[in-house]
Amino acid sequence: MLSISHTLFSIFILRLLSLIFPLFFFFSFPNILISIISANFCDFDIFWLKKISTHHRLVFHLPLFYLVLFIGVSIITYPLTYYYIILLIFIQIFFHLFTDYVTGRTAGIYWFYPLLNKQYSLFAIKPRLGNYHPYIKNKGKMKKHFIFYFQNRLLVVFELFLCLLGIVAFFI
C-alpha cells in the first residue's frame, strides 16, 4: 500500500482505539505522530531492499518477527504506564502488514516466515513486475508496476476509502 494510505489509515486506527478505549488511547498529537511513524516503519526497508518484489521477505515485513518482539517487549514493560504506547506501535505495525496483504500486487506477506517460505496475498500477485530496484534508472519498469497497481479498481477504491477514513478521523 502507498505511504500516504498507511499514514492516513493509521490516524483512523488511533481514532478508533481512542473511541473504544478512551482511558488508554488518546487522540493526541504525540500519539498521531507515533501512529504515523509505526505505520510506515515496515517500509523503511526501502533502504536495504534489492528488488520491490522481494522486499517483503526482509525482517521489516515479517509478522512472526514482530510477534516475538511484541511478546518480549510486553514481558519487560507490562504493566508500566506507558505500555499503551508499546501496544499502539505494534497495533499500527500489524495493520500495516494486514493492509499490505490485502493490497499487495507484486509481493505478498510471508505470514509464517521462517517456518514457511510462502507469501500470501488477497489477490494474485505478479512478482516479475516488481523485479527492479526503485533507485536505479528503472522508470519504465516503475511505470508498468504502477499501471498494474492501479488496474485493480476494487483495491484503488479500498485504498481511497482508507485514506478518507483517516481524514474523517479528525472530525468525529
CA atoms within 13 A on the CB side of 51: 12
43 interacts with Zn ion by CB under 5 A: yes
Cα–Cα distance measured from residue 163 to residue 5, given in angstroms and rounded to the nearest whole number: 5
Q: DSSP 3-state assignment of 28?
A: coil
> Count of H helices and E strands in the chain?
6, 0
Does 159 interact with Zn ion (rule: CB under 5 A)?
A: no
Q: With respect to Zn ion, which residue has the nearer C-beta, 58 or 77?
A: 58
Q: Which is nearer to Zn ion, 43 or 159 (CB)?
A: 43
Query: 31 vs 99, which CB is nearer to Zn ion?
Result: 99
User: Which position among 5, 100, 109, 141 is part of the footprint of Zn ion (CB under 5 A)?
Assistant: 100
By C-beta, is 1 or 27 nearer to Zn ion?
Answer: 1
Question: Residues 121-140 vs Zn ion: string with x where CB under 5 A?
Answer: --------------------
The three-class DSSP label of residue 100 is helix
The whole-angstrom separation of Cα 78 and Cα 110 is: 28
Give whichever of 50 and 168 is closer to Zn ion, judged by the CB atom: 50
Phi/psi of residue 86, nearest 5 degrees: -60, -45
42 forms part of the interface with Zn ion (CB under 5 A): yes
Query: Which range, of 14-22, 62-70, 93-101, 155-163, touches Zn ion by CB under 5 A?
Result: 93-101
Q: HSE of 102 in the Cβ direction (CA atoms, 13 Å)?
A: 16
Tell me: does residue 49 bind Zn ion (CB under 5 A): no
Q: Which residues bind Zn ion (CB under 5 A)?
A: 42-43, 100
